[in-house]
Amino acid sequence: MRQRLTNRRKIMGFRLHNLPHHVIINVEMREFIKISGFVLIFVGTVGLLLNEFVFDAPSSCTISLAVVNFVGLVSLAFAHFAMRD
């Protein structure tokens, strides 16, 4: 128990009595964020390719699909770097 609290303190950078329990994200949440990141990147990439080669959609569609790609990349980066063990 003591080792687990020490790891939490080291990860979050807070003293033990100021440990914010709502900020600590468990493994299941980390995996969900990773999977959703991959899904967003896949949807954004397929949408951009279809928009380029099949459809002639306006630029607002292209921008929204690029934003979906960017959000997917940010969520993957967050899951990888910010939630390290």
Asked whether residue 62 is domain-assigned, the answer is: yes
Asked whether residue 43 is domain-assigned, the answer is: yes
For 53, the domain range is 25-85
Residues near 51 by Cβ (< 8 Å), separated by ≥ 6? 57, 61, 62, 65
Asked whether residue 9 is domain-assigned, the answer is: no
Q: How many domains does the chain have?
A: 1
Query: How many C-beta neighbours within 10 Å does residue 56 have?
Result: 7
Asked whether residue 14 is domain-assigned, the answer is: no
HEC-encoded secondary structure of the chain: CHHHHHHHHHHHCCCHHHCCCCCCCCHHHHHHHHHHHHHHHHHHHHHHHHHHHCCCCCHHHHHHHHHHHHHHHHHHHHHHHHCCC
Asked whether residue 33 is domain-assigned, the answer is: yes
Query: For position 67, what pLDDT does the model report?
Result: 94
Contact criterion met (CB below 8 Å) for 40 and 71: yes
Structure confidence by residue, pLDDT tens digits, 16-73: 455 455 556 677 887 888 889 899 999 999 999 998 888 888 888 899 999 999 999 9
Asked whether residue 11 is domain-assigned, the answer is: no
* Burial of residue 81, with CB atoms counted within 10 A of its CB: 0-12 exposed, 13-18 middle, 19 or more buried: exposed
